[in-house]
A and B are shown apart, each in its own frame.
Chain A
Amino acid sequence: MCMKKSLAADGPPDGVLIGIGNVNDHKDRIAAPGAGGVPGIVSALFEEVGLTHADLWVSRMGGSEQVAVGWVDGDRPFDFTLPGRDDLGLRGDAEILPFQLVHAVLARKVSGSLSHLRRIHADCPAPLIHLESPPPIADTSYAQDHLDVWFKQHGATPKVAPAALRLKLWLLQTRLARAICDDIGVRYIVSPPGVQDKRGFLTREFWSADATHGNIAYGRMCNRYLAEHAASLIGVPA
């Protein structure tokens, strides 16, 4: 979303046209085999960003799985340990779930969100890369005050989970998405340098009015970063 706004404001980066879109917004265009298939998605995405050609395709599919799984505390608040990130600790007031359980749940959701990536990669008319979703913000109060409207529709008084849990969920999601991309052969692009603090949270200047997304400045960072990658992918100078 932030990247589209950035493109709309600035135009595409010099030297490369980037197709951006969330394929899952166009599920109705993902036709059954023999009924159009991927070209339908491609044209839908072109329409979405107002382009007729792209030298590089960027997948921003998924990314909100970790939000759905644990951003908001349910009746049984939980936490889990993320191997390699002992520094993030565990809540004292929540049920501790086995890592394998959270992994299984998030893996199911991420694989569902990226289920079309393999087909698109096979048929995409230009190189396809997948960009990591925005890291979570560290300020729980800000997140509480700027929750996506979806939560307000699905819970009377949603309580945002602690920052460390949100970061762990995001980190696990990125590991899972990267593994899928590696399996398919799609290059996985991590968040641009400079958008995260030392622990991994999105730095303040990139926070959006919606706590689960980055702002236009974040989108610009992503687009510039992608343009750099484009140079190596399609031989166009960044």
Chain B
Amino acid sequence: MSRKHFYSDLPDHNFWSRAVSRVAPGDLNPVTDFPFKINPEDKVATAGSCFAQHIARHLKASGFTYFVTEPAHPLTDLVDGLAERMNYGTFSARFGNVYTTRQLVQLFDRAHGHFHPAEPDWQDKGGNWCDPFRPAIQPGGFATRAELIRDRDQHLAQVRYMFEELNIFVFTLGLTECWTSRADGAVFPLCPGVKAGHFDPGAYAFVNLGVDEVVTDLNGFLDRLARVNPKARVIFTVSPVPLAATAEDRHVMISTTVSKSILRVACDVIERAHDHVAYFPSYEIVTSAVNGPDYFAPDRRNVTEAGVNHAMRMFFAAATDRPTPAVPPAPATGATMDRLQTIVDVICDEEALDRPNPT
């Protein structure tokens, strides 16, 4: 006579042997329940770290409504690749990488006129102007301060419109480490002095957000979003891309584990607390021991096309009623590179942390 216990009637996905060990690596699917579906007509906006660009790329190519409120001007059609080089369409608006939850909250507040950073612009040695909150958005910088101000006003208006009109917001959490202004707590996506600005320890402070801070940020963001768009639903993901560099005095791998763990725990707290919030496990799919070696490029940081495709197959299977759409493969980066190791081209400002200082 067999004994019944708590685990006896649990579904297969509760058991590692049935849900992982005996599953073909490419079929691994940690999504067991997704709280809502994305319809083709839903306006889906994306933001976040560099991995969020993959979601944007697949949405664009899949027949869903990828909601871009700051599209490239038709003039850019006259030069191949110009719109992409100038970061139009990379995300739903031209905000560049939003690596931290604090940055997301401040983006919302800046767009709605509730936060006016004390440090609104930087100027480089060549006289060009830079937006400290999207330092890489304009290659070559803005030609004049007036241009930067007008461009930012236009941009923030489109961010506002995006939050008010979107149906689904997909945000990929990337980092907990960030640099802030000592004057007002404004968070920069990149340490001042790396791509623009000048590093001044008296003006900037390093902050490594903890679980409570990330949860507070996410709750604060959800409250704000609900006020302007009560029907909006939100999908959080955690980027599987490791930190390019850590400001903590420890190995970057340790910092990566800590940061990703904090973000993952915060997502769990938030997901359990809000019915209109879903968590999608792109982090788990890409970093698991099952596929990890194949899903990272030789630098063990960038995600291969195979890894992205696996995550996105599961995303569409969980979050939509459509079969997995066929997405054109990303361009190969080298003729001799194995297909599985093809790195998808994404804009990752953070990689600049690991480059030699310009002379």
Contact = CB atoms under 8 A, between A and B. Distances in A.
Nearest to B88: A101
Interface residues of B, number: 20
Interface string A89-108: 01000011111111011001
Interface size grouping (class) on chain A = 20 to 34
B80 to A, nearest CB: 9
A46 interface: no
A80 interface: yes
B79 A98 contact: no
Interface in A41-89: 69-70, 74-76, 78, 80-83, 86
Interface string B20-62: 0000000000000000000000000000000000000000000
Nearest to A85: B144
Contacts of A98: 86, 138, 142-143, 147, 151
Contacts, number: 63
A29 interface: no
B144 A99 contact: yes
Contact of A99 (B73, B74, B142, B154): B142
Given A96-B151, A99-B147, A69 B75 contact: yes
A121 interface: no
Given A97-B73, A100-B138, A83 B143 contact: yes
Nearest to B149: A96
Nearest to A101: B86
Contacts of B144: 81, 83, 86, 99
Contacts of A108: 78-79
Q: 6 tightest A-B contacts by CB? A: A99-B143, A96-B150, A81-B147, A81-B144, A100-B140, A83-B143
Given A80-B147, A96-B154, A101-B73, 17 more contacts: A78-B73, A81-B143, A81-B147, A82-B143, A83-B144, A86-B144, A86-B146, A96-B151, A97-B73, A97-B75, A100-B142, A101-B75, A101-B76, A101-B86, A102-B75, A104-B82, A108-B78
12 contacts: A69-B75, A78-B73, A81-B144, A81-B146, A82-B143, A86-B146, A99-B142, A99-B147, A100-B141, A100-B142, A102-B75, A108-B79
